[in-house]
């Protein structure tokens, strides 16, 4: 039985043509035990955005930059506060953060590099229709070619809001909008390819990768949202096959198949390993986990596909 570590080494030295002629191999997971996970590739950056508009467009550029040539990025954009200023004889400031849909307050995502690229782009309307609009606009965030972040709010609409005054509750026009947000951006070696297949859970199992794919570095895979107690398998190879399989999609070429541990009571597992030496920078390896699950369409659920790039 070949270990996953041995499989990684073989994949690093085989040419694509040789791999295409190779039969899939079953491998064990013993070599995956004992290593620790490390932070992902590159240095994270954090930015704070604090912008006010009286109806014009907002165009913010970060003071620092992230590596513009990264293979992929993980970002977290958090809207910390949204305030409006309404004028009733005198200006009155009202915090309307709790009127924004929760899914728009914190947005985390994994994106393919390199820069330039758009990370987020969506419309914001507060409150949601059919209530009269207080604030609306189109929100976008991304990276320019130099790796600097940008935040734009365009097509801004300032309507009206209800405020409490010493004279009672009144509807007053909004004259200003303030947005405070935080951004964390991390270059990473891993990219989520999607294409999972749900089983017992409403959403598909999730496969994540950790660590920098550099010689001797600890790396790892984590599975979550899978059926507790189920048998699972890790399929990995050197190309993106994306072939219809078991009413889902087999993402990697099945150059190697590893017997993973049974899914734990929390619906997952962690498989650490060490990235082998001799892998050229830019080499890509594709992973996916398949889980025996009687609630899945053909008896197996599948995680998203995942690709890692060596550095």
3-state secondary structure labels for all residues of 66-128: CCCCCCEEEEEEEEEEEEEEEEECEEEEEECHHHCCHHHHEEEEEEECCCCEEEEEEEEEECC
pLDDT at 127 (0 to 100): 82
Question: Could you read off the pLDDT of 53-98 as tens digits, one per residue?
Answer: 999 999 999 999 999 999 999 999 999 999 999 988 888 888 888 8
pLDDT at 6 over 70: no
| CA-to-CA separations, 238 to 2, 113, 208, in angstroms, rounded | 17, 19, 18
Number of H-type helices and E-type strands within the chain:
3, 23
Number of independent structural domains in the chain: 2
Instruction: Note the maximum CA span of the chain.
Output: 82
Task: Yes or no: say if 99 and 126 are a contact pair by the CB < 8 Å rule.
Answer: yes
pLDDT in tens, 94-106: 888 888 888 889 9
Of 141, 165, 187, which residue is a domain's last? 187
Taken in order 264, 266, 267, 270, is the CA torsion positive or negative? Answer: negative
Same domain (yes/no): 129, 220: no
Q: Are residues 159 and 203 in the same domain?
A: no
Top-confidence residue, 193 or 9:
193
Instruction: Write down the pLDDT at residue 162.
Output: 82
pTM: 0.79
Residue 196 sits in the same domain as residue 157: no
**Most confident stretch, 81-95, 100-114, 154-168, 183-197:** 183-197
pLDDT at 18 exceeding the cut of 60: no
Tens-place pLDDT, residues 251-284: 999 999 989 989 999 999 999 999 999 899 999 9
Q: Are residues 122 and 61 in the same domain?
A: yes
Instruction: Give the up-direction half-sphere exposure of residue 186: CA atoms within 13 A in the CB hemisphere.
Output: 17
The residues with which 181 forms a beta bridge, in sequence order, are 49, 79
Q: What string of DSSP letters covers 128-183?
A: -TTSPPSEEEEEEEEE-TTSEEEEEEEEEEE-EEEEEETTEEEEEEEEEEEEEEEE
Residues 205 and 169 reside in one and the same domain:
no
**Of 131, 164, 187, at which residue does a domain stop?**
187
For the ranges 11-15, 81-85, 246-250, the one whose mean pLDDT is highest: 246-250
**Dist. CA 47–CA 222, nearest whole Å:** 28
Q: Give residue 28's pLDDT.
A: 36
Percent of the chain with pLDDT over 90: 65
- Kindly tell me if the per-residue pLDDT of 38 is higher than 50: no
Q: Name the residue range of residue 95's domain.
A: 45-187
Do 233 and 268 lie in one domain? The reply is yes
199 and 181 together in one domain: no
């Amino acid at each position: 039985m070949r270990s996953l570590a041995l499989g990684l080494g073989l994949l690093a030295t085989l040419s694509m043509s040789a791999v295409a002629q190779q039969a899939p191999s079953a491998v064990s997971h013993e070599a995956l035990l004992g290593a620790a996970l490390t932070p992902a590739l590159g240095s994270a950056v954090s930015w704070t955005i604090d912008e006010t508009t009286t109806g014009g467009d907002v165009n913010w550029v970060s003071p620092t930059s992230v590596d513009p040539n990264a293979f992929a990025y993980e970002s977290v954009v958090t809207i910390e506060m949204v305030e409006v200023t309404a004028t009733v004889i005198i200006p009155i400031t009202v915090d309307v953060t709790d009127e924004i849909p929760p899914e728009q307050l914190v947005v985390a995502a994994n994106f393919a590099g390199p820069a330039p690229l758009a990370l987020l782009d969506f419309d914001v309307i507060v409150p949601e229709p059919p209530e009269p609009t207080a604030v609306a606009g189109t929100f976008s965030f991304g990276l320019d070619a130099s790796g600097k972040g940008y935040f734009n709010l365009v097509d801004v609409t300032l309507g009206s809001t209800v405020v409490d005054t010493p004279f009672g509750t009144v509807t007053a026009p909004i004259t200003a909008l303030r947005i405070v947000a935080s951004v964390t951006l991390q270059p990473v070696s891993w990219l989520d390819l999607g294409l999972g297949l749900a089983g017992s859970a409403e959403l598909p199992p999730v496969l994540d990768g950790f660590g920098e794919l550099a010689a001797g570095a600890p790396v790892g895979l984590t599975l979550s949202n899978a059926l507790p107690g189920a048998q699972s398998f890790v399929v990995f190879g050197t190309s993106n096959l994306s072939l219809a399989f078991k009413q889902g999609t087999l993402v990697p070429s099945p150059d190697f198949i590893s017997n993973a541990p049974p899914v734990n009571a929390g619906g997952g597992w962690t498989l650490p390993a060490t990235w082998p030496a001799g892998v050229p920078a830019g080499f890509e390896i594709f992973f996916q986990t398949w889980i025996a699950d009687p609630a899945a369409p053909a008896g197996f659920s599948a995680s998203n596909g995942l690709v890692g790039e060596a550095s």
